[in-house]
Structure 1
Amino acid sequence: MVVDVEGALLRSSSSRSLFPYFMLVAVEAGSFLRGLLLLLLYPVISLLAGAGGGDVAVRAMAAVAFCGLRESRFRAGRAVLPRWLLDDVGKEAVDAIVTLTRRRSSPAATATVVWASSMPRVMVEPFLSEYMAAAEGGGEVVVAAREMKVVWGFYTGVMEDGGEVAAASPEVRRAMEGVDDVVGFSGGSMDLLRSPLVSFCKEVYVVSHEEKSKWRPLPRRREYPRPLRRVAEALGYDSTMLTRKDKTVLCDV
């Protein structure tokens, strides 16, 4: 199964809606001045995203947030950021993924899900590998996302070109090898349909903007379906309700 993270997992999917995640990286891993610079550039980023330059907007945010950061000191991707991403996951999206993976896999086997994202791999991989593996029944997690280029241990702020690199990675090809009934799950952005990953898919389910606008956030721990209880327990969801809108989140972690 191939899932478009921004289009078919997160409730907000536009390039502009990804801004808080890059702001977190800029402030948490960088500095207040870096975050201020990204904030000042938001009108330009918003215009780029609105004019159809979503990938350009993502590249611009990544350049400001990552340029000059020491790779070994980047901790936001493994600490606060996964919690923010989980807060934006749609319950209906998880239900659909669980249903599709069960339908496509045999009872004795676990499903492999390839998660495609326009964000840098370093931002989404910890969230997907640690938390969303529970949603797919503990199967293998494969992330198809572009790397941030590193020189002498520092991020340059430059992302790899195009989705072809991510789609051609050894782990993606290994996951798709010998599988002839791969299904894709995308959103109204149609990013997955323009990706080389769609060539692996036998069929693709697309969620419309109208359907997605009705998605609800994940329920609290007591109401979680069994595959997601591990997610809630890992985050301590009963007592720690961190969201992207928390003004004190950077001080709490």
Structure 2
Amino acid sequence: MANSGVQSSSKFPNVNQCESEGHENHTVVTDMDGTLLIGRSSFPYFALVAFEVGGILRLLFLLLATPLAGLLYYYISESAGIRVLIFATFAGMKVSSIESVARAVLPKFYSSDLHPETWRVFSSCGRKCVLTANPRIMVEASLKEYLGADLVIGTEIATFKGRATGLVASPGILVGKNKADALRKAFGNTAPEIGLGDRKTDFPFMELCKESYVVPSKPEVVPVSLDKLPKPIVFHDGRLVHKLSPLMALLTILWIPVGFILACLRIAAGALLPMPLVYYAFWALGVRVNVKGTPPPPPKKSIGQSGVLFICSHRTLLDPIFLSTALGRPIPAVTYSLSRLSEIISPIKTVRLSRDRIKDANMIKKLLEEGDLVICPEGTTCREPFLLRFSSLFAELTDQLVPVAMSNRMSMFHGTTARGWKGMDPFYFFMNPSPAYEVTFLNKLPEDLTCSAGKSSHDVANYIQRMIAATLSYECTNFTRKDKYRALAGNDGTVVDKPKTKLAAKKVMGC
């Protein structure tokens, strides 16, 4: 809920009067909503957890409970209002699911809403503590992993057999006196040097600090840019592109049934129509495909000409389909893994890589003899303006290499996931009101830069990665598929199926 503002008569000075130098050995204690974050409402973050864990019905339940929470918050007690939000969001959820969303989804949104004045002071201190009424389980991963917090003290939720009950554990919601008590318990008789808050219920803990400052409410404040953070956010998960205010939550709930029908129409158009017509069908259905550069002509089989290998940056599993749409002809794609549903509805031929280097090399060579082929050597998708490390296998197999820079735009839903069911990825992408793809064909790699000219396969792969990154204004990284899944799903990208026999077969997760 929104935090009540601090009056100008506050006994604490404005945060802009706090110096940001000489605090290397000092401890700062800050409130979260409205202080460390610009946003004064915690509803958007509860809504993210509700949707990502519980889906549309849980989000609807939270939205219906919000008027009651607001009434209690503003007219009865701040604590009572927050209790309603916690119950509506968490009741019955698996604790592991909440932790997963807190680790993989929320950091992107929290990091995009940092108050510049608070961050200036917070980042300059040697020891950092965040004291918040929000559930600790929801905020701790973001604050420690990406914002450098050393200690996070928040409201503790009650659990039973691995599930949240929706109730709050002792000592209750951390507001007012409870915040001050929590600070005393954590620091004992040692008073932190700096305290930061934004409302009167923060004053009790601020009075325990040697010096304290108020962060005034200024909605027009521009948040800290992500490049100023101590750690870049390369990977993040979740279906929602933006935070949800109560109004946006209502619009999203109303849009999902309509969007799903529209997605089915768009997918059917791509799967059933001849590829030369798909571009125009997409345009009529609100999907934009922008093509730049000059693609190579189809190979001439009559003279024994082999196909080219299109090397694409990987944004969603639809990359090869939009490449084919841009070319006006179906181009087979080799994939590291794909859900069965995606294979069924795909308008192009998809061939799975076995991750056996020799087998995969022979298969790709055979496919190139039949015509053009597309591959995404990153091995997994990345949403942010970064390119993951390119596998070098493709450079050893052919010198006919055409780099393709792929980028897309989604306004409501992400068309990728690391934690959810990947079979829904195409549907979520096409559920956006007006999704767009930009396909940029770069010049075919000169022969003197290929392996046949003595270049190593790693040098070729790295060169193409840099070419595509420069075209998109992205940054090259050495992160791999395993790095992504370790960050978002807590594994290395493989899961073990429930064994049908005594032996359990390993299954590779999707892109």
What's the secondary structure of 1:132's corresponding residue? coil
Aligned pairs (5 A) from 1:158-169: 158-160=167-169, 161-163=172-174
Aligned to 1:11: 38
1: CA distance between counterparts of 2:414 and 2:56?
15
| Amino acid paired to 1:206 | V
* TM-score between the two structures when normalised by the length of structure 2: 0.39
1:166 Cα deviation after fit: 6.6
Q: Which runs of 4+ in 1 moved over 4 A?
A: 164-169, 171-174, 249-253
Contact 1:11/1:213, CA 8 A, preserved across alignment: yes
Aligned to 1:183: 194
Aligned to 1:148: 157
Contact 2:53/2:93, CA 8 A, preserved across alignment: yes
- 1:72 and 2:96 are equivalent in the alignment: yes
What's the secondary structure of 2:196's corresponding residue? strand
2: CA distance between counterparts of 1:155 and 1:24?
17
Aligned to 2:282: none
Structure 2: unaligned runs, 5 residues or longer: 1-27, 245-410, 419-511
Aligned to 1:108: none
Aligned to 1:235: 234
Contact 2:58/2:89, CA 8 A, preserved across alignment: yes
Aligned pairs (5 A) from 1:36-115: 36-51=60-75, 53-74=77-98, 75-99=100-124, 101=125, 111-115=126-130
Q: Select the structure that is richer in helix.
A: 1
1:213 Cα deviation after fit: 3.0
2: CA distance between counterparts of 1:119 and 1:250?
29
Give the direction of change, closer, same or farther, for the CA distance of 1:37–1:112 in structure 2 (3 Å limit): same
* TM-score between the two structures when normalised by the length of structure 1: 0.74
1: CA distance between counterparts of 2:59 and 2:242?
18
- 1:193 and 2:208 are equivalent in the alignment: no
1:220 Cα deviation after fit: 4.5
Larger gyration radius, structure 1 or structure 2: 2
Give the direction of change, closer, same or farther, for the CA distance of 1:64–1:250 in structure 2 (3 Å limit): farther
2: CA distance between counterparts of 1:249 and 1:52?
39
Structure 1: unaligned runs, 5 residues or longer: 102-110, 134-139
Deviation track 1:27-66 (CA, whole Å, cap 9, x = no partner) reads: 1112321111111222222333333633222111110111
Deviation track 1:184-241 (CA, whole Å, cap 9, x = no partner) reads: 1111x233214xx3453122111222xx3342112242xx2xxx2x33x23369xxxx
Contact 1:184/1:203, CA 8 A, preserved across alignment: yes
1: CA distance between counterparts of 2:88 and 2:173?
19
Aligned to 1:215: 221
| Amino acid paired to 1:61 | L
CA RMSD of aligned residues (A): 2.8
What's the secondary structure of 1:145's corresponding residue? strand
